[in-house]
Amino acid sequence: MPRARKRFGQHFLADPSVVDAIVSALGPREGDRLVEIGPGRGALTGTLAASGARVTAVELDRDLVGPLRRRLPDVTVVQADALAVDLSALAGGEAFRLVGNLPYNISTPLLNRLFDACAAGLPLVDMHFMLQAEVVERLCARPGTKAWGRLSVIAQYHCEVAPLFTVPPDAFAPPPRVMSRFARLAPRPPDPAADDVEALRTVLRVAFGARRKRLGNAVQSLGLDVAALGLDPGTRPDAVGLGGFVAMANRLARNG
């Protein structure tokens, strides 16, 4: 059996009860188009395929691909980097669902890539991911908390985010040094919507890059009069809600 590789951030799911909990949360149906990221040794993959869903598994580690293909002939196993592969093409252009036990070292860049893809119209029904507990805390954070930041805002701009359950280190082989959480992210139309998502990302980068400053000073370089937008220039960036950041982004986009 292939060993976990540290450079890939691999922690293989090894607890059947956690697999059952994931499948229960996901609720795969016959005919569903599922794309699994990081199947590892296939603990979850086989159960997903047994549901009647059409499963495509994306695995970076070449040593895992052969065993997966031999053991799960009904699953399409693709050797590829999830940060670069065309997920829509893998799903044949159909609406699809994403699931995965994400390597911690790629979780944030992959999530940001998926949020950008949602903005571009990727036909993504929902995402169910095992993540480091700290990442889920950031995804679900509220304004005024330490965890509220760029990832929180952009995630909640694109998706409804729901933490589902916590998973201890001993559910994996080898066990990670941190707790994990399983979460659901369901893409939805933004409300309020930004005129330009890139302008929103710019505002978030600048504001949270100076999160200890007062808001008016933090975004001064962008030429924004936050008071004119109904925002308190004396507050901190991490106290501003989603609507406030969208208002700043829209003013930035309209200022050209």
Can you give the pLDDT at residue 103?
Answer: 84
pLDDT digit string, tens, across residues 46-67 = 999 999 999 999 999 999 999 9
pLDDT digit string, tens, across residues 223-252 = 999 999 999 999 999 999 999 999 999 999
Can you give the pLDDT at residue 4?
Answer: 45
Can you give the pLDDT at residue 104?
Answer: 83
Task: Show the 3-state SS of the chain.
Answer: CCCCCHHHCCCEECCHHHHHHHHHHHCCCCCCEEEEECCCCCCCHHHHHHCCCEEEEEECCHHHHHHHHHHCCCCEEEECCCCCCCHHHHCCCCCEEEEEECCCCCHHHHHHHHHHHHHCCCCEEEEEEEEEHHHHHHHHCCCCCCCCCHHHHHHHHHEEEEEEEEECHHHEECCCCCCEEEEEEEECCCCCCCCCHHHHHHHHHHHHCCCCCCHHHHCHHHCCCHHHHCCCCCCCHHHCCHHHHHHHHHHHHHHC
Can you give the pLDDT at residue 105?
Answer: 84
Q: What is the pTM of this model?
A: 0.92
Q: Which residues of the chain have pLDDT under 70?
A: 1-10, 256
Instruction: Report in angstroms the alpha-carbon separations of 197 from 100, 157, 190.
Output: 26, 10, 10
Can you give the pLDDT at residue 255?
Answer: 86
6-187 and 197-255 share one fold = no
Q: Which two tokens stand for residue 229?
A: 């937008």
Angle at 131 between CA 93 and CA 174, to 5 degrees: 115
Residue with tokens 């569903």, as numbered in its chain: 32
Give the homologous superfamily in CATH for domain 197-255.
rRNA adenine dimethylase, C-terminal domain (1.10.8.100)
Residue with tokens 């007062």, as numbered in its chain: 214
Can you give the pLDDT at residue 9?
Answer: 53
Can you give the pLDDT at residue 63?
Answer: 92
Sequence spans of domains, the chain: 6-187, 197-255
Can you give the pLDDT at residue 256?
Answer: 65
The CATH number for 6-187, chosen from 3.30.1490.20, 1.10.260.40, 3.40.109.10, 3.40.50.150, is: 3.40.50.150
Can you give the pLDDT at residue 8?
Answer: 46
Can you give the pLDDT at residue 246?
Answer: 98
